[in-house]
Structure 1
Amino acid sequence: MPRKVTSLDVARKAGVSQSAVSRVFTKGASVSAEMEARVRAAAEALGYRPNVLARSLITGRSRIVGLVVAYLDNPFFADAVEKLSHALQAEGYHLLMFTVGNSAVDLDRVVDELMDYQVDALIAASVDLSGRLVERCAAAGLPVVLFNRGIAGSGLSSITSDNRAGGQRAAEFLLAGNHSRIAHISGWQGSSTGRDRAAGFATALAAAGQGLHGQADGKYSRAEACEAARTMMEAPTPPDAIFVGNDYMALAVMDVLRHDLGVSVPGDVSIVGYDDIAMAAWPSYDLTTVRQPARRMIAATVSELLAQIETPSRRPQKIEIDGPLVVRGSARLPKDQTT
């Protein structure tokens, strides 16, 4: 087996010191263009790659960010993970991702493993960290940022869309379309996102003198959302509009209404979702939905994370980013928007 090429080999071939080789492969280090060219040419010729893990022991930084996400079934999260990975790479960081179920045991195990990998920070995406886990991260000096979820009283920074405003926007649109029996299949009510969207929606209806015709917790599950839709539509007086707590559930609701129950969308019932995932724009769905501004949410998450790494004493931030209602064909249009 051939001997592994070392930085000393590169230094000898390039005619420079070993420390110069180290500076060339250290992001942000001061080095002349001529020296960098010589070192990189020598490294290329020898097939040398720097040992990132060994360097992390010296610098105290792994330049790895841990990501804990509950599930990837919802296309919103698959897209967000891709954008997050690109954004972190642009800053010289890499992503180490773990998925967890709703089990506290699974979450404890994953956080333990992330700490073993000496990650520089942790992002929790739609995952509720217990108070004990928050304390453990704080004791370890591990910065934590919540993405698409807030945890009241946790003392953690959170980045979300403006969920209350989004729910309100959905209600106002359906009210403007003269719907009189408006229901809501919410996201999981154990989550801040599910509660806030539902609260914004109900508050806007109440302000217009109209109550919810029906409500069910879809728990961000396709199966739960489909069952809730069947129950609502088979009632003696079914709704004429349903706001669904995310697009992942909304597309499932549209499928069960059209194909299982023979209900016309939007002829018999209007559907509005939340997220604006790529499939929402497919002609077969053409879903009207509140857009989560994923790029701006990712940018804010990375910015906050880097700020916490550099300034551990930084105060937690609560950032809510507003997104527009994207009007398509799954809901009846208000009169002033018809042509």
Structure 2
Amino acid sequence: MMGKRVTSLDVARAAGVSQSAVSRVFSKGSSVSAGMEARVRAAAETLGYRPNVLARSLITGRSRIIGLVVAYLDNAFFADAVEKLSHALQARGYHLLIFTVGNSGAELDRVVGELMDYQVDGLIAASVNLSGELVRRCAAAGLPVVLFNRGVAGSGLSAVTSANRAGGGKVARFLMAGGHRRIAHVSGWQGSSTGRDRLEGFRDALAGEGRALHALADGLYRRDAAAEAARAMMARSDPPDAIFVGNDHMALAVMDLLRHDLGLSVPEDVSVVGYDDSAPAGWAAYDLTTVRQPVRRLVEAAVAEILALIETPQRQPQRIEIEGPLVLRGSARIPEGWTE
């Protein structure tokens, strides 16, 4: 039979202090003397006491939990981002409650409803599209929302992304400088701002030099769809000699198809460039040239923004874009003397 739960009053009696003193010891940022803290923590350790965070949240009105909705974690970029988000929030006394969800409206609606039931203090939505109705529900509930690696035009929500148009433009200029004539793009999902913005920056930079895309397909941010799109491009009578792929997750699948299914050499037959600079991009098996998304800076900006919105609900939404470099490796022809 389980014993009676140890309470803060039990700890206070054992330590010879008031119950409010015990509460201050276990509240981040509260001022207590070193001696008092030592006595309280020693008594808590002896009794096996742990503060009831949920009960405290009822008193303070803060759960110190941030909800995170993410579309998928098989992409190494998001696995890294989630880990860094968790660490950054823990350092500030917050914790993540993570839900994975597709982009279907009904599933997303259900998950956001559950997050509200958990009384989270804020919501970070990573690469999911919030509908206007969901945005209105969050606003009505007073729930601060920050979009991560995705923007929703006209939503009135804060968003933190890489400088996607600038990144797409860098890739176009790099491939043109390398002498490529038939430049194709397997884009990210065109229902997303990131997919559209990278395509727009890429296409505009080509047009600035009087060039047009040789071939275009939506890879949907899926490895299978990206590989099939590249297969169709390479089956043409005039196949591309360079392919910019909308993220590394898809680019690795395209490289596998080119080398192992079609028996082509990368970059001798086809140059391939990705976007993210996820960990596998640097593996010797791929050595992928790619645009780096500076994950740590993106995470710090997202955490700072969600906490600012929690503290100041009237704060105006921010649109934060962080530029990253083109990382040169061996999957694409490097122009002689190249500098961006």
Give the TM-score, by structure 2 length: 0.98
CA RMSD for the aligned pairs? Answer: 0.9
**1:243-262 equivalent positions in 2, closer than 5 A:** 243-262=244-263
Correspondence for 1:234: 235
Correspondence for 1:331: 332
Whether 2:253 is the aligned partner of 1:274: answer no
Correspondence for 2:184: 183
**Does structure 1 conserve the Cα–Cα contact (< 8 Å) formed by 2:66 and 2:123?**
yes
Correspondence for 2:79: 78
Correspondence for 1:215: 216
Correspondence for 2:16: 15
Q: Measure how far apart 1:4 and its partner are.
A: 1.2
Amino acid across the alignment from 1:252: A
**Does structure 1 conserve the Cα–Cα contact (< 8 Å) formed by 2:102 and 2:128?**
no
Q: Measure how far apart 1:101 and its partner are.
A: 1.2
**1:285-304 equivalent positions in 2, closer than 5 A:** 285-304=286-305
Deviation digits for residues 273-328 of structure 1, max 9, x if unmatched?
00000000001100000000110000000000010000000000000000000000
Correspondence for 1:319: 320
Cα distance in 2 for partners of 1:25, 1:337 equals 56
Amino acid across the alignment from 1:30: S
Q: Measure how far apart 1:52 and its partner are.
A: 0.2
User: Once superposed, which parts of structure 1, at least 4 consecutive aligned residues long, lie more than 4 Å away?
Assistant: none
Deviation digits for residues 10-51 of structure 1, max 9, x if unmatched?
101110011100111111112111111110111111111000
Amino acid across the alignment from 1:37: A
Correspondence for 2:170: 169
Whether 2:120 is the aligned partner of 1:123: answer no
Deviates more, 1:27-36 or 1:188-197: 27-36
**1:103-114 equivalent positions in 2, closer than 5 A:** 103-114=104-115
Cα distance in 1 for partners of 2:42, 2:174 equals 61
Cα distance in 1 for partners of 2:322, 2:253 equals 27
Amino acid across the alignment from 1:322: E
Amino acid across the alignment from 1:53: L
Q: Measure how far apart 1:102 and its partner are.
A: 2.0
Amino acid across the alignment from 1:317: Q
Q: Measure how far apart 1:236 and its partner are.
A: 0.1
Whether 2:93 is the aligned partner of 1:95: answer no
Q: Measure how far apart 1:145 and its partner are.
A: 0.3
Cα distance in 2 for partners of 1:102, 1:315 equals 27
Deviation digits for residues 164-206 of structure 1, max 9, x if unmatched?
0000001111111010110000000110000000000000011
Amino acid across the alignment from 1:259: H
Amino-acid identity (%): 77
Correspondence for 2:198: 197
**Does structure 1 conserve the Cα–Cα contact (< 8 Å) formed by 2:183 and 2:241?**
yes
Name the SS for the 2:337 alignment partner.
helix
Cα distance in 2 for partners of 1:154, 1:317 equals 12
Correspondence for 1:265: 266
Cα distance in 2 for partners of 1:315, 1:278 equals 35
Name the SS for the 1:226 alignment partner.
helix
Whether 2:60 is the aligned partner of 1:59: answer yes
Cα distance in 2 for partners of 1:333, 1:313 equals 49
Correspondence for 1:42: 43
Q: Measure how far apart 1:335 and its partner are.
A: 1.8
Cα distance in 2 for partners of 1:29, 1:311 equals 21
Q: Measure how far apart 1:337 and its partner are.
A: 4.7
Amino acid across the alignment from 2:311: E
Q: Measure how far apart 1:209 and its partner are.
A: 1.3
Deviation digits for residues 100-134 of structure 1, max 9, x if unmatched?
11211111110110011000000000011111110
Correspondence for 1:27: 28
Cα distance in 2 for partners of 1:180, 1:337 equals 18
Amino acid across the alignment from 2:153: A
Cα distance in 1 for partners of 2:226, 2:312 equals 43
Name the SS for the 1:335 alignment partner.
coil
Correspondence for 1:309: 310
Cα distance in 2 for partners of 1:147, 1:274 equals 16
Cα distance in 1 for partners of 2:9, 2:337 equals 73
Unaligned runs of 5+ in 1: none
Q: Measure how far apart 1:85 and its partner are.
A: 0.2
